């Protein structure tokens, strides 16, 4: 199979070159993963600092950087609640917790499980139904229903299987949010993979040890072929799978992306879901496991892609695609009818037999046209393709706009938590975030550098508000904290400080700060960031794009102007004229105001 003619090698190299031109390369993958891990870390630090017993994980194409602009992939988020203790054996039971025993028996579909409610005072099955989310099965066991996920729907969200989908606002991708609960340990059906090795000795032992250290989850959805669809929960090893994808080389990543392009263009036209991108990922992992690693290089890309489609053809023919880690779980069970199966087999066969000619018909990212131009089938000048530099700049800009929006969202979440809290509790939140910066890993340190200045300013402003109320002066401690937060961004913390000087009668100081804040806006590329209201898409300058492409995430402080947010505890720092405008209303206005 791998003794290919010269033309296949030449086409493979040309295909690799085209994918490099659309920024599917090692540099973009490393940078994109760093940005998404930074966003994930910021979210989790915010949750921890506010005392929320939850974590979030960013998964899928954007986290893995296995997508392109043209694929328009959703942003996948695993929303993990630690409300329950999901155990695989009785030794993991905890007193006082809401414990559920993970059960896999002859009545559960492979890869799925039941969750049996246990007592919280002793390790025995519960006998009393606590709420409408639990039900007694035919054996008299109290089982947790998976239908509770609908309670997590927010405004503008829709239920799509196990995920909650929402349309992205400007600068933010569409999002699929999946609710999950972590398991205390890996189920036996998943742990068997740790002892399995293929021809290429991949994944390595080191990868498997790390993957096994990540938690498994249960996700509220049943199998399509289940006789108990409301009681089944899917076992998810998504973090272990993310570890595997992070260890692929660039040829393997390109092979996966090409599979998704072919899938979207030919196998799933009009948005059909006969074969999922997750199945393509699974097929790829099986192929890598069962071939020599030396095969996966750029001059062999077309042959590797053909090999993956041979494997996919076999899976569709047998209507069986084994989950990579939980091999008993058939991802294609109940997925398509006999007619659809035959149609898929014909399309996959066409691709295999035509030596990749279907690639010429892919419109996504102008892939087909670019290949034709490289092959001189059409003249290069016939198309006005964006350069790889322009694509790189666009991606970098979108990444940094997303980080800025993420800072805004997390800052608002922290402020909402601090609302109506006393000064002591506010200081505890500040100290908690500072401890993550000091003792956490590198990415936690970077996340804290982006988040803490806003919190310093809020805490300093709350201290100043208290002293202004009593003495009409700002205390020295308040000024220390306010100074520490001045570099949160180009303007918001400075505008707060100017407001305080104005409120206490120091007009010259207020004017000096305002002039110092205003000057950079005319000379530097600045992006206005606000998550408080629906706003038009931000206009970015050429200079802003250049900074995003050339500098690291620390530059965000110098090219963004965040909105100025006051919580109630800062009321005395707000000028009286603005207070009047905030509270002035008619009786009719009051009827339309929320809390």
Query: Could you tell me where the DSSP H helices lie in 263-387?
Result: 277-289, 301-318, 338-353, 367-374
Single out the residue of 97, 63, 283 nearest to residue 182, CA to CA: 97
All structural domains of the chain, each given as residue ranges with its CATH number in brackets, are 1-28+248-385 (1.10.1410.40), 83-242 (no CATH), 397-591 (no CATH)
Query: 452 near 437, Cβ under 8 Å?
Result: yes
Helix (H, G, I), strand (E, B) or coil at 510: helix
Q: What single DSSP character describes residue 84?
A: S
**Max CA separation in the chain (angstroms):** 86
Q: Where are the beta strands (DSSP E) in 167-236?
A: 175-182, 217-219, 233-236
What does the pLDDT read at residue 520?
A: 72
List residues bridging with 236 in a β-sheet: 217
CA separation for the pair 135, 357 (Å, rounded): 54
Nearest to 212 by CA among 198, 193, 196, 197: 193
How far apart, in whole angstroms, are the C-alpha atoms of residue 574 and residue 263?
Answer: 56
Q: Is 165 left (phi over 0), alpha (psi -120 to 50) or beta?
A: beta
What is the model's pLDDT at position 195? Answer: 86
The pLDDT of residue 331: 96
What does the pLDDT look like over 420-467, one tens digit per residue? 888 888 999 999 888 888 888 999 999 999 999 999 999 999 999 999
Task: Note whether 71 and 264 are within 8 A (CB).
Answer: yes
How many angstroms separate the CA atoms of 520 and 536, rounded? Answer: 23
pLDDT of 196: 86
- Predicted structure pTM score: 0.89
Task: Please tell me the predicted confidence (pLDDT) of residue 592.
Answer: 74
| Burial track 300-334 (b if 16+ CB lie within 10 A, e otherwise) | bbbbbbbbbbbbbbebbeeeebbbbbbbebbbbbe
> Are 184 and 175 spatial neighbours (Cβ–Cβ below 8 Å)?
no
- Do 216 and 236 form a contact (C-beta atoms < 8 A)? yes
Q: Among all chains, which residue has been given the structure tokens 């707060």?
A: 496
227 contact partners, CB below 8 Å, separation of at least 6: 107
Could you report the average pLDDT of every consecutive run of 10 residues in the chain (595 residues)? 65 94 95 95 94 93 94 91 95 96 94 96 94 92 85 49 49 70 92 84 91 94 91 96 96 98 88 89 96 94 96 97 96 92 94 89 93 79 78 92 93 90 89 87 93 95 95 95 94 95 95 89 80 74 89 90 92 90 75 68
1: Cα within 13 Å, side-chain hemisphere: 14
> How many angstroms separate the CA atoms of 29 and 251, rounded?
12
For residue 501, report the phi and psi dihedrals to the nearest 5 degrees: -65, -40
- pLDDT, tens digit, 9 for 90 and up, residues 52-70: 999 999 999 999 999 999 9
In the structure encoding, which two tokens stand for residue 552, read together? 């690291």
What pLDDT was estimated at residue 531? 76
pLDDT of residue 78: 94
Is 444 in contact with 41 (CB distance < 8 Å)?
Answer: yes
323 with 329: CB under 8 angstroms?
yes
H helix runs in 385-490, sequence order: 388-418, 423-439, 442-471, 476-484
Q: Is residue 417 helix, strand or coil?
A: helix
Cα Rg of the chain, angstroms: 28
What pLDDT is attached to residue 591? Answer: 76
Q: Which residues contact 141 (CB under 8 A, 6 or more apart)?
A: 114, 116, 125
């Amino acid at each position: 199979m791998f003794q290919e003619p010269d033309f296949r090698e030449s086409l493979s190299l040309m295909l690799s070159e085209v994918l490099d031109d659309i920024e599917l390369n090692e540099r973009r993958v490393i940078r994109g993963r760093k940005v998404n891990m930074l966003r994930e870390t910021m979210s989790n630090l915010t949750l921890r600092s506010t005392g929320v017993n939850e974590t979030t994980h960013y998964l899928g194409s954007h986290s893995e950087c296995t997508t392109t602009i043209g694929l328009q992939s959703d942003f996948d988020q695993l929303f993990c609640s630690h409300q329950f203790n999901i155990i695989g054996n009785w030794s993991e039971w905890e007193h006082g917790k809401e414990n559920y025993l993970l059960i896999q028996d002859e009545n559960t579909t492979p890869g799925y499980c039941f969750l049996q409610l246990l007592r919280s005072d002793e390790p025995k099955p519960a006998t009393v139904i606590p709420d409408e989310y639990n039900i007694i099965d035919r054996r008299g066991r109290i089982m947790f229903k998976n239908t509770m996920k609908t309670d997590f729907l927010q405004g503008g969200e829709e239920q799509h299987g196990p995920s909650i989908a929402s349309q992205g606002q400007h600068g933010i991708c569409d999002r699929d949010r999946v609710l999950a609960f972590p398991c205390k340990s890996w189920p036996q059906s998943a742990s068997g993979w740790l002892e399995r090795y293929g021809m290429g000795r991949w994944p390595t032992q080191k990868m498997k040890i790390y993957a096994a250290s990540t938690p498994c989850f249960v996700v509220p959805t049943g199998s399509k072929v289940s006789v108990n669809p409301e009681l089944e929960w899917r076992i998810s090893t998504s973090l272990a799978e993310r570890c595997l994808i992070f260890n692929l080389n660039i040829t393997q990543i390109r092979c996966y992306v090409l599979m998704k392009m072919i899938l979207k263009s030919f196998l799933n036209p009009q948005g059909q879901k006969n074969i999922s991108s997750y199945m393509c990922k699974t097929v790829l992992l099986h192929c890598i496991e069962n071939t020599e690693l030396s095969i996966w290089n750029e001059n062999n890309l077309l042959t590797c892609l053909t090999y993956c489609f041979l494997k996919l053809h076999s899976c569709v023919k047998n209507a069986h695609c084994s989950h990579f880690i939980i091999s008993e779980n058939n991802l294609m069970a109940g997925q398509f009818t006999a007619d659809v199966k035959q149609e898929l087999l014909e399309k996959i066969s066409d691709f295999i037999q035509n030596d990749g000619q279907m690639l010429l018909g892919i419109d996504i990212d102008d892939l087909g046209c670019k290949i034709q131009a490289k092959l001189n089938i059409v003249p290069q000048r016939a198309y006005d393709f964006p350069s790889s530099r322009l694509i790189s700049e666009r991606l970098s800009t979108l990444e940094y706009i997303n980080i800025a929006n993420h800072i805004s969202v997390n800052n608002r979440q922290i402020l909402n938590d601090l609302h109506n809290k006393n000064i002591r509790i506010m200081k505890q939140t500040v100290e908690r975030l500072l401890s993550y910066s000091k003792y956490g890993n590198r990415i936690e340190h970077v996340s804290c550098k982006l988040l803490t200045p806003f919190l310093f300013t809020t805490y300093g402003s709350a201290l100043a508000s208290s002293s202004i109320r009593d003495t009409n002066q700002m205390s020295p401690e308040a000024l220390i904290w306010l100074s520490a937060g001045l570099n949160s961004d180009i303007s918001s913390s400075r505008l707060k400080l100017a407001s305080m000087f104005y409120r206490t009668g120091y007009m010259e100081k207020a004017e000096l700060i305002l002039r110092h804040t205003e000057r950079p806006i005319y000379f530097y590329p600045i992006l206005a960031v606000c998550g408080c209201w629906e706003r038009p898409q931000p206009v970015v300058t050429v200079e802003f794009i250049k900074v995003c492409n050339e500098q690291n995430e620390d530059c965000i402080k110098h090219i963004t102007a965040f909105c100025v947010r006051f919580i109630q505890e800062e009321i005395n720092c707000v000028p009286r004229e603005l207070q009047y405008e905030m509270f002035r209303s008619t009786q009719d206005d009051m009827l339309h105001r929320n809390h």
